[in-house]
Structure 1
Amino acid sequence: MLANYVVQVKEQTIREMKHYYTSNLVEKLPQGALFVAKLSGCTITAYRSGKVLFQGKDAEKEAGRWDGRDAGQTKEENFSTVSAIGSDEVGTGDYFGPIVVVAAYVAKEHIDTMKRIGVKDSKQLTDEMIIRLAPTLMNDLHYASAILPNPEYNRWQQSGMPQTKIKALLHNEAIGKLVDALPQRPDAIIIDQFIERNLYFRYLEGEQHVIREHVYCIPKAETVHIAVAAASIIARYLFLQELDCLSETVGINLPKGAGEQVDKVAARLIQTHGEAILPSCAKLHFANTEKARRMANR
């Protein structure tokens, strides 16, 4: 079944889209349509109502070019000095271990303190630095986490749920728990962008508790507000703890990432415990699974 996505845009954006897809336009139009463009993996139909329909295997990717274009988000430079929740995830690119999302709240009067103690994007810090810094943040800040264990991740993924929706559900869960626990409302809720804002909320349709007010999806958000950097540090720390627990359970030190060392360890797991061990500690749809199978059978 091919994916369908609908975005609502303004007249100016529709004109921009038509110009962008000039070389892909077709002559025959359905009733009410302003243009139809056919790409190799997607058909785009724009209607007079402002709705634009994306159909095909690349529908999500193509819709992401335009979704949120007219959301009217606050300029990023206004965020750095406000009291905000930052939300970030780790583990999506790691074969072993869960996905961990953390939302952390930094009040404006604590921003300078966070900078002084060395809070910055977790990707710029070693594991040793994170292990040293995270407990202080967890003690000093309000935060909430959403952790998706590997068995549940594999069930969701095998049901056809894209990883972007999985992340949207987890971010909303962590943010919701934190907002409910805070004594005051934040000025902004900033998600390190993995998808456009409108599509983020489309993935949350049907959920009972969706946080919508003052939510922004911003690329490289850890450079926009230090709360996102704090969230990324706590998330990495929790991920490392989860990975250590899984390593103890399976009796092998599970490495981070998805490189050749991961293939070798996964092959050892198959040889030692059988392939049935993998769903409990790995993301099965990664290419590492097939590589490990081949290694284990040599």
Structure 2
Amino acid sequence: MNFVMKLTKNETLKIVKFYRDYASDSKNESVLFFAKTEFVAITVYSSNKVMFQGEDASAEYKMWVAMLNYNDDTSPKKPSITKKIEQVQDYFLESIGSDEVGTGDFFGPVTVCAAYLDYRNIEFVKTLGIDDSKKLTDDKILVLGEQLASKITFSLLTLHNEKFNDLTEKGYNLNKLKAYLHNKAILNLLAKLNTEPSVIMDQFAEKNLYFSYLKDEDNVYRDITFKTKGESKHASIAIASIIARYAFLKHFDKMSIDSGFTLLKGASKEVDLLTANIISEKGEQFLRKYAKVNFKTLAKAKDILKDM
């Protein structure tokens, strides 16, 4: 399905600037600018009409509707099927959502966010197209994260690498650390509110196990609903995921500058090679400030160095 916007010249220029790194040539003389990302094609016509096509066209269109405060008169009506209506209502449930980012990345911190979606922000959030937050590109996360952080009440915690490494060496496993951070973020957020809404967490451990990780804590929030793939079921979790990812990306970029290396996300053979290169140039101790040294990546990097 195609999504079309009729814009002013200044609004069109904002879109051209945003997608300039993805620009491609077009043989159509009426096309002023054409760009193509992995999931969407953007065509800007000389008439200042902009068309979005492709798998991610709907989400991209909704993002620009929100960013430009565009008057969208073409939005489809809600389906009349009762089950569909219930699913939409459940997704946009007024609630606190909690999610974490960075636990699968060798480089970079762990960020945890608890975010409150209240009824006053539901219509705003609906315009953003965040129902598949895990599919969003980093560029889009940086845009949406800033928008959400300016409107949503949230609590964000960052576990930096040096502290992470100290704690894991003292016997804390990753899930115990995540449980502590989630509990703290939820309590911090509730302290900001005059109400106590439902709390929904993207499940990373069984309920009993989650609370067992917190057995030594004096203050534990227990009225939590756990949902697997929660970001696709509740907007509050998707919001928390985006803000946590936004913070992670900001930290990650700064770490690349500070370290003098172009750090890579995730854990892969490319990350192994980069780690070996860093150890070769800076020494293993240098990694403690930028990486989670309990990952198998470190051992693989050392093996690479042995074979060199």
Pick which of 132-141 and 269-278 moved more: 269-278
Counterpart contact for 1:121–1:232, Cα < 8 Å: no
Residues 104, 175 of structure 1: alpha-carbon distance in 2 compared, 3 angstrom cutoff: same
Which residue number in structure 2 is paired with residue 205 of structure 1?
A: 215
2:142 to 126, 131, 146: 131
Which residue number in structure 2 is paired with residue 102 of structure 1?
A: 113
Once residues 108 and 220 of structure 1 are traced to their aligned partners in structure 2, the CA distance between those partners, rounded to angstroms, is 23
1:261 to 270, 294, 297: 270
* Offset at residue 109 of structure 1 (A): 4.1
Once residues 250 and 263 of structure 2 are traced to their aligned partners in structure 1, the CA distance between those partners, rounded to angstroms, is 12
Sequence identity percentage: 41
> What is the aligned residue count?
221
2:201 to 191, 208, 231: 191
TM-score (norm: length of structure 1):
0.70
Counting only pairs closer than 5 Å after superposition, residues 137-176 of structure 1 correspond to structure 2 as: 137-176=148-187
Once residues 230 and 300 of structure 2 are traced to their aligned partners in structure 1, the CA distance between those partners, rounded to angstroms, is 35
* Offset at residue 121 of structure 1 (A): 4.0
Which residue number in structure 1 is paired with residue 261 of structure 2?
A: 252
* Offset at residue 79 of structure 1 (A): 4.4
Unaligned runs of 5+ in 2: 1-85
TM-score (norm: length of structure 2):
0.68
* Offset at residue 183 of structure 1 (A): 2.5
Residue deviations 1:49-89 (CA, integer Å, cap 9, x gap): xxxxxxxxxxxxxxxxxxxxxxxxxxx96843532000000
Which residue number in structure 2 is paired with residue 278 of structure 1?
A: 287
Aligned-pair Cα RMSD in Å: 1.7
Pick which of 154-163 and 166-175 moved more: 154-163
Which residue number in structure 2 is paired with residue 112 of structure 1?
A: 123
Pick which of 140-149 and 114-123 moved more: 114-123
2:229 is aligned with 1:220:
yes
Once residues 295 and 99 of structure 1 are traced to their aligned partners in structure 2, the CA distance between those partners, rounded to angstroms, is 27
Once residues 237 and 267 of structure 2 are traced to their aligned partners in structure 1, the CA distance between those partners, rounded to angstroms, is 25
